[in-house]
Amino acid sequence: MECHQRIARLSWMVVAGSIWALGGLSVVPADEPVTPAQARDMGSRLEAKLERLTEINPRSRDLDERGAVRVPRLPRVSFVGPPVLERAIDCDVGQSITHTLSRAVARRVVLHLSGTCRESVTIDRPGVTLTGARSGTAVIDPPEDGEGIPIGPAIYAIGAHELTLEDLTLRGGTFGLEAYASRRVQLTRVNAIENTECGDSCTWPQGVYLNASEAVISDSSLSNNTSPLWVDQNSTAVVSDTVMENNSGDGPFSMSNSFLSLSRCRLLGNGLGPQAATYSSTRVYDSVVGSAGYNGWTAAWNTSELRIFRTEIHGRIQGTQDSQVRLGGVQFGTSSPYDIIQLNLSSNLFITDSSRDGSPVIGEINGNINLWAFSTATIQAEGVINGSIALYDFSDVDAWFTPILGSVECASRSRAFCNPHPLGGVHGCE
């Protein structure tokens, strides 16, 4: 205890000596805000007092005989560039986006593009806007290597916060936009199209790829790619009034702790419908969804969530591996396959009365619903199931207020409760 008291007294002596050396301290009351004038006055006084402290020991300015190095005073740094650099870039006469960005020192850069820019543009700074003519004639189209493979994406963004793309066409690259660690990205009237080849540099060319990034996409087209949109690795994308058609390999996808929202979109002719995988969520509102193949899935995989409301679907819906599917206001088109909804491996289906406009939550389901391996379905909605429900391996269904024109078939200790009773009967259920 006595040792601690000595240390405390010594600490107070050091503090008192420092205050004496600095000539006292100016104190601003803690409950009052510091005004700009007070802040400037405090800074001037502190600078003068530090100057007095160095005068007490002149050697503090230079090296002493023991080689102790003085600490130089830091110069005041001010930003000398303009707040905004705005330029017109005509790629048809040889001007370059990359060259202009490499020389820009402004806080924000706005480039008005025209012509076809044969380059793969890297953006690694915040505050960049690329905008073209509203007619969409500004194109970024990367050149190809000796084997006919694009040298890279049309735009590669890393740390490109507040990147804004407007009225552009991004085509013929490994990706239209490939973004990493970029927040508040906006795409408006952007055509990310015909991005289908990447050689060994990637496995799945995309119209737009987001990794640890967030983007708002509106009034755009992500079509004729291998895949239109992949939201990956803790990313978020909010998409509205956008067309995604004829993408050969996949539909829009959220993956690895990501979130994707699609509103008023047209998603037809793609290899698959919207999907969510690995702790992710995909939500579809007021849209049209269909796939190129008879068996094309709109799906949730591996502890993920798929929500579809007030949407017309031409295809099948699947949930698997502890995933959840919620439907409301869904109309299934006549081209949908007969086994229309499948849940597997402890997944959950909810068809509930959640329509905001008061319309029937679900239309006529012209197909079967299959539940496998500890999966469950809760159906509490208007509409008609013009098919059967099959339950396997400890699966359950609770259906209220929804007529089932087929039967309910159970196997391996599955359970069913249906009101009204299915017209085709209930068979083998506990």
Could you give the 3-state DSSP secondary structure of residue 290?
Answer: strand
**Lowest mean pLDDT segment, chosen from 49-63, 91-105, 342-356, 406-420:** 49-63
% of the chain surpassing 90 pLDDT: 60
pLDDT at 48: 54
pLDDT at 249: 86
User: Is the confidence at residue 2, as pLDDT, over 60?
Assistant: no
pLDDT level of residue 32 (50, 70, 90 thresholds): very low
Rounded alpha-carbon distances, angstroms, from residue 274 to 259, 308, 349: 12, 10, 17
pLDDT at 87: 95
User: Is the confidence at residue 28, as pLDDT, over 80?
Assistant: no
Give per-residue pLDDT as tens, 177-196: 999 999 999 999 999 999 99
Average pLDDT over residues 318-340: 82
pLDDT level of residue 385 (50, 70, 90 thresholds): confident
Average pLDDT over residues 390-404: 91
pLDDT at 20: 43
Q: Which residues have C-beta within 8 Å of that of residue 89, sequence separation ≥ 6?
A: 95, 96, 97, 100, 111, 112, 113, 114, 117
Which helix (H) or strand (E) is 244 found in, with range? strand 243-245
Q: Which amino acid is it at 316?
A: R
Give per-residue pLDDT as tens, 145-166: 988 899 999 999 999 999 999 9
pLDDT at 357: 45
pLDDT level of residue 69 (50, 70, 90 thresholds): very low
Q: What b/e string do you get for 416-429 counting C-beta neighbours within 10 Å, with b at 16 or more?
A: bebeeebeeebeeb
User: Is the confidence at residue 31, as pLDDT, over 70?
Assistant: no
pLDDT level of residue 60 (50, 70, 90 thresholds): very low
Average pLDDT over residues 297-318: 92
> What's the whole-model pTM score?
0.79
pLDDT at 181: 97
User: Please, is 314 exposed, middle or buried when counting C-beta atoms within 10 Å of its C-beta (0-12, 13-18, 19+)?
Assistant: buried
Rounded alpha-carbon distances, angstroms, from residue 276 to 129, 252, 294, 339, 396: 30, 9, 20, 20, 24
User: Is the confidence at residue 201, as pLDDT, over 90?
Assistant: no
pLDDT at 297: 87
% of the chain surpassing 70 pLDDT: 76
Tokens standing for 189? 């009237």
The count of residues in the chain is 430
**Alpha-carbon distance 213 to 228, whole Å?**
16
pLDDT at 36: 47
Average pLDDT over residues 61-84: 51
pLDDT at 332: 80
pLDDT at 44: 54
Given a contact cutoff of 8 angstroms between Cβ atoms, the answer to whether 193 and 222 are in contact is yes
Mean pLDDT of all residues belonging to the chain:
82
Average pLDDT over residues 276-291: 94
Average pLDDT over residues 224-228: 96
Tokens standing for 183? 């927040």
**Alpha-carbon distance 236 to 358, whole Å?**
30
pLDDT level of residue 333 (50, 70, 90 thresholds): confident
User: Is the confidence at residue 257, as pLDDT, over 90?
Assistant: yes
